[in-house]
Amino acid sequence: MVKFPVSTELLVFDLEAYVPEADRKRKTGASLAVNPFKEGHTLLGGVFHLSRPRTGEILTSPEFEHHWVWDEGDEAEVVSSIYSIFAGMRRRASVKKQHHADPVVAGVGISQFDMPAIFAKCLAYETAPADEIYETVCKVRVVDLAVAGIGFLKSDAPLLYPKTHNALADLFIPERDKKPTGKVVWEMADEKDYAGIAARCEGEVREMVLLAERMRTKAPETP
């Protein structure tokens, strides 16, 4: 049985990426336009909230830590900063016992974009040896709230399908304002509205922290 010592860490985060205009409008293919290996598809940065839920200790400083290309110089520096967060989690967990919980990362849609993007960009910039990148980024426990939320929302879909941030927030955070589509970030980047992107991203992470807690304490409704 997995045990959760006071040192168990939870990272809630969200990344933003830039997609060149030529790649934004597609009539066929995957719904996710960004591809971290394609030229011009840039990881702009993101917001990170690292805590020890058992003690309430916040490890990021400030509580919602920002890393952006316009602050740190370029994409490689941002990737390095993000990798350092994961490396710190791995280092601190290296002394845990086997039956103790691994570090957890959580967010909406992170299994489709955020985690693969970090892995891809770290490989592309050779942030560390490839085997070390894998050990650091890919051996945390990933809780995608978009998947975890499936059982909370009734659906007529013919198969299990991840839920959107908005759908989950409508259920668990009815008091919040609805957010615009994610594609607005590309337009904001075109307009150099960097403060707007940062504020929008932090707002999403704050909601994710609340979503994770409310999902943890609310049992799915029975028919």
CATH of residue 70:
3.30.420.10
159 DSSP 8-state letter = S
Quote the pTM value: 0.93
State the pLDDT confidence band at 220, using cuts at 50, 70 and 90.
low
Q: Looking at per-residue confidence, does 181 or 81 come out higher?
A: 81
Q: Looking at per-residue confidence, does 123 or 27 come out higher?
A: 123
**Residue 24 domain boundaries:** 10-146+160-217
Give 212-216's long-range contacts (Cβ < 8 A, gap of 24+).
212/10, 212/12, 212/106, 212/143, 212/145, 214/172, 214/173, 215/145, 215/148, 215/149, 215/152, 215/168, 215/172
Residue 83 domain-assigned (yes or no):
yes
CA dist 48 and 30 (Å) reads 27
Across residues 128-144, what is the average pLDDT? 97
In this prediction, residue 177 carries a pLDDT of 80
Can you read off the two tokens belonging to residue 164? 């959107």
In this prediction, residue 39 carries a pLDDT of 95
CB atoms within 10 A of CB 213: 13
CB atoms within 10 A of CB 11: 21
Residues β-bridged to residue 194: none
Q: Say how far residue 96 (Cα) sits from the centre of its chain.
A: 24
- Angle subtended at Cα 141 by Cα 136 and Cα 143, rounded to the nearest 5 degrees: 130
CA dist 128 and 12 (Å) reads 23
pLDDT digits (tens, 9 = 90+) for 91-106: 999 999 999 999 999 9
Evaluate whether 211 touches 172 at the Cβ level (below 8 Å). Answer: yes
In this prediction, residue 222 carries a pLDDT of 44
In this prediction, residue 29 carries a pLDDT of 85
State the pLDDT confidence band at 218, using cuts at 50, 70 and 90.
confident
Instruction: Check whether 54 has a pLDDT greater than 90.
Output: yes
pLDDT digits (tens, 9 = 90+) for 161-198: 999 999 999 999 998 887 666 568 999 999 999 999 99
Report the share of the chain in percent with pLDDT over 70: 96
CA dist 135 and 133 (Å) reads 5
Residue 172 domain-assigned (yes or no):
yes
Radius of gyration of the chain (CA): 18
Instruction: Check whether 208 has a pLDDT greater than 90.
Output: yes
In this prediction, residue 223 carries a pLDDT of 41
Alpha helices in the chain (DSSP H): 69-72, 75-93, 114-124, 130-137, 145-148, 165-172, 184-190, 194-217
Instruction: Check whether 219 has a pLDDT greater than 90.
Output: no
Residue 154 domain-assigned (yes or no):
no
Count of structural domains, the chain = 1
In this prediction, residue 112 carries a pLDDT of 96
Q: Looking at per-residue confidence, does 76 or 177 come out higher?
A: 76
Residue 2 domain-assigned (yes or no):
no
Residue 5 domain-assigned (yes or no):
no
DSSP β-ladder status, 141-144 and 65-68: unpaired
Residue 222 domain-assigned (yes or no):
no
In this prediction, residue 182 carries a pLDDT of 58
Across residues 60-87, what is the average pLDDT? 97
Instruction: Check whether 69 has a pLDDT greater than 80.
Output: yes
Residue 177 domain-assigned (yes or no):
yes
Write the DSSP assignment of 78-132 as a string of letters: HHHHHHHHHHHHHHHHTTS-TTBPPPEEEETTTTTTHHHHHHHHHHHTT-S-HHH
Instruction: Check whether 84 has a pLDDT greater than 50.
Output: yes
Residue 210 domain-assigned (yes or no):
yes
